[in-house]
């Protein structure tokens, strides 16, 4: 199974503790029960991280695709300072989802801004104050934004991209370690047809969220 970039340190740490515990069982058999419990615990943690950081191959979908795995928690309109009137697709990622985020459409990265903040549950209104990474992208349909938002368990947003990078649809743009939410800002256009609704489940790079008509 392929693992996401930035995953190995998270996986190797509990794995080393697991192996060390087994070693101590051999050296100090009188404490085998205690060390067995510790080794099982760290084995389960290692297994959890392997599953969490999985990075499966995706067949890239048609039109504008989802930047994240998860389900649509909300769809709404707003006026953004960079885009103007836009539609926001807010995607919540559960702990069992793949957490590698992908590019929804071809474009050029114009800005990458990291904002520190809290780590409240990403489905709450107060999560607007959470740590986030704001990616502004120039595309054939105008400026769009992808906002990666940390949640309760998420403590690190790791970008794979930087300013002025030319990125193709479906390319990996980053990962939110242990969380949590991705908002996609698309410019309001009459020739857009949205193919999703609140509650729909999505796969990053694979699920089409909107179609552009000429």
Q: Helices 32-52 and 8-27 meet at what angle, rounded to 10?
A: 160
Cα(first)–Cα(last) distance of the chain, in Å? 40
- Burial zone of 190 (CB within 10 Å; 0-12 exposed, 13-18 middle, 19+ buried): exposed
Rounded Cα distance between 107 and 124, Å, is: 31
DSSP structure string for 6-49: T-HHHHHHHHHHHHHHHHHHHH-GGGHHHHHHHHHHHHHHHHHH
Among 66, 90, 127, 180, the active-site one is 180
Known catalytic membership, residue 180: yes
Structure-block tokens of residue 106: 């071809």
DSSP reduced 3-state for 145: strand
Pairing of strands 70-80, 208-212: unpaired
Q: Catalytic residue numbers?
A: 180
């Amino acid at each position: 199974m392929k693992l996401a970039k930035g995953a190995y340190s998270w996986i190797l740490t509990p794995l080393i503790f697991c192996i060390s515990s087994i070693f101590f069982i051999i050296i100090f058999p009188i404490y085998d029960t205690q060390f067995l419990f510790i080794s099982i615990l760290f084995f389960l943690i290692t297994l959890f991280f392997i599953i969490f950081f999985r990075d499966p191959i995706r067949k890239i979908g048609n039109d504008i695709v989802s930047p994240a795995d998860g389900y649509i928690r909300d769809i709404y309109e707003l006026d953004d300072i960079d885009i103007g009137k836009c539609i926001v697709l807010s995607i919540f990622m559960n702990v069992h989802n793949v957490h590698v985020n992908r590019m929804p459409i071809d474009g050029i990265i114009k800005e990458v801004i990291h904002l520190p903040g809290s780590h409240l549950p990403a489905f709450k209104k107060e999560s607007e104050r959470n740590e986030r990474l704001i990616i502004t992208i120039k595309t054939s349909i105008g400026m769009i934004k992808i906002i990666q938002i940390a949640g309760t368990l998420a403590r690190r947003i790791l970008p794979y991209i930087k300013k002025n990078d030319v990125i193709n649809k479906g390319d990996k743009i980053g990962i939110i370690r242990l969380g949590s939410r991705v908002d996609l800002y698309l410019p309001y256009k009459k020739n857009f047809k949205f193919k999703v609704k609140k509650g729909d489940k999505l796969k990053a790079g694979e699920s089409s969220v909107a179609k552009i008509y000429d």
